Chain A
Amino acid sequence: QSVLTQPPSVSGAPGQRVTISCTGSSSNIGAVYDVHWYQHLPGTAPKLLIYANTNRPSGVPDRFSGSKSGTSASLAITGLQAEDEADYYCQSYDSSLSGWVFGGGTKLTVL
């Protein structure tokens, strides 16, 4: 069981907008710790998508955006494309565990 909770799956049609939630607690997201997001295609290296809650690394399309409020964070993807089909993970730091934690991952299916 991950300390960061994500929905196992989400789906959307091409061109649509989807959001992926990441729910934590007062020892991680609800504390001072940032949330980061990764995209992972099976058999490849995970890719940093969003860092420090809302920031996009260079090269990541602005279709991807992040937000954080209270003990939760969200990743939004607009203008869905077939190439967005992948697994998405949130990540933060947990002071109770004294370590970095990932969400359980969300599989995005583009219909």
Chain B
Amino acid sequence: EVQLLESGGGLVQPGGSLRLSCAASGLTFNTYGMGWVRQAPGKGLEWVTSISGRGVHTYYADSVKGRFTISRDISKNTLFLQMNSLRAEDTAVYYCAKSPTIVTRYFDLWGQGTLVTV
């Protein structure tokens, strides 16, 4: 079964850092683009960042550019999100999501999410 499982969320002070992980199983990891989407309390979905299949290309929303870094370890089938200089407005459930193509167009598989509270 194809599955995405996020971990690493928690409570952090403003200005602090946190690293989220997303373990992928049941798929050829480097074939697909991946991304992170978040949902702040009471708000809608917000695209945060995406990475191409082999990790060559990365893309960021303006709200996180320069503070967040997306990466992937193909050997471990794991996606990461390094979050630095965290702000109260970064508080959200963070979803890991898979694109059906090597570059993100849309997301056809999502994880259950991990809560980050700043």
Contact = CB atoms under 8 A, between A and B. Distances in A.
A87 B107 CA distance: 16
Given A47-B110, A57-B108, A89 B44 contact: yes
B87 interface: no
Interface string B97-109: 1001000111111
B1 interface: no
Nearest to A98: B59
Contact of B108 (A2, A48, A98): A48
Given A45-B113, A97-B62, A51 B108 contact: yes
Contacts of B37: 46, 102
A2 B112 contact: no
Task: Assign chain A's interface to a size class.
Answer: 20 to 34
Given A45-B95, A46-B110, A47-B110, A105 B104 contact: no
B45 A102 contact: yes
Contacts of A34: 105-106
A98 B59 CA distance: 8
Contacts of A93: 105
B40 to A, nearest CB: 12
B61 interface: yes
Interface of A: 2, 34, 36, 38, 40, 44-48, 51-52, 57, 87, 89, 91, 93, 97-105
